[in-house]
Chains A and B, each alone.
Chain A
Amino acid sequence: DTEVTQTPKHLVMGMTNKKSLKCEQHMGHRAMYWYKQKAKKPPELMFVYSYEKLSINESVPSRFSPECPNSSLLNLHLHALQPEDSALYLCASSQATGHNYGYTFGSGTRLTVV
């Protein structure tokens, strides 16, 4: 298995809703990442998990809450989002956070906040 699987593919939520994005990989990778991508822009890093521990938070608002229950799974919990949070959310993984490793990205979750 050489894929990163993200669910759901599309999500529409109201500003008062609570929802979660899920990311799964079975490549034995020990680093996992959340990125946010706005239309026609490159991806922006949000969070980095290394060996199931949060190692980097790029000053992301607290309405985004990441969770790494085990080495294969990464969640992003969403609460009280704003319309400007509408974007493509990408999950990625790498063998570790070491500098020689390439990244594998998932197909993304298209989030619309209404």
Chain B
Amino acid sequence: KQEVTQIPAALSVPEGENLVLNCSFTDSAIYNLQWFRQDPGKGLTSLLLIQSSQREQTSGRLNASLDKSSGRSTLYIAASQPGDSATYLCAVRDSNDYKLSFGAGTTVTVRA
């Protein structure tokens, strides 16, 4: 059974610092990995989707890397802003299951 872990569980940084969020998964036989953002009490907003054949994806200040063999993905957010404060979830689509396996999330606070 796929297990997805996100470290750290919470992170507080001053505005302008770069953010590094980690996601690890136990079964490397995955099809893709998706990073989501969730504001309190709201739905999930897709940030980046990385297919298993890809090493990274970029969108604006966001960059996500994928190392399938070691079971790791990292989300980088450059020059953080207070508006980046949210919970970030990674989800893995593995080859043995129809489900998304979610991590528990990293809650980010960016202080002005």
Residues of A at the B interface (CB closer than 8 Å) are 4, 6, 41-43, 45, 48, 56, 88, 90, 92, 97, 99-100, 102-108, 110
Closest to A92 in B: B44
**How far is B98's CA from A56's CA once the two chains are assembled, in angstroms?**
9
**How far is B40's CA from A88's CA once the two chains are assembled, in angstroms?**
11
Closest to B34 in A: A102
* Residue in A41, A88, A92, A99 whose Cβ sees the most chain B Cβ within 10 Å: A99
Known: A48-B98, A56-B98. A104 touches B46 (CB 8 A): yes
- The 28 sampled A-B contact pairs (Cβ below 8 Å) are A4-B43, A6-B43, A41-B104, A42-B89, A42-B102, A42-B103, A42-B104, A42-B105, A45-B99, A45-B100, A48-B98, A88-B41, A92-B44, A97-B98, A99-B32, A99-B93, A100-B51, A103-B34, A103-B44, A103-B46, A103-B91, A103-B100, A104-B46, A105-B36, A105-B43, A105-B44, A105-B46, A110-B41
Please, which residues of chain A bring their CB within 8 A of the CB of B49? Answer: 102
At the interface, yes or no: B95 with Cβ under 8 Å from chain A? Answer: yes
Interface size range on B against A: 20 to 34
On whether the beta carbons of A102 and B32 are closer than 8 Å, the reply is: yes
At the interface, yes or no: B45 with Cβ under 8 Å from chain A? Answer: yes
B105 to chain A, nearest CB (A): 7
**How far is B104's CA from A56's CA once the two chains are assembled, in angstroms?**
23
Residues of B at the A interface (CB closer than 8 Å) are 31-32, 34, 36, 41-46, 49, 51, 89, 91, 93, 95, 98-100, 102-105
Q: A45-B100, A100-B32, A105-B44 provided; 6 other pairs, C-beta below 8 A? A: A43-B102, A56-B98, A100-B51, A102-B49, A104-B46, A107-B43
Please, which residues of chain A bring their CB within 8 A of the CB of B41? Answer: 88, 108, 110
* Residue in B44, B89, B103 whose Cβ sees the most chain A Cβ within 10 Å: B44
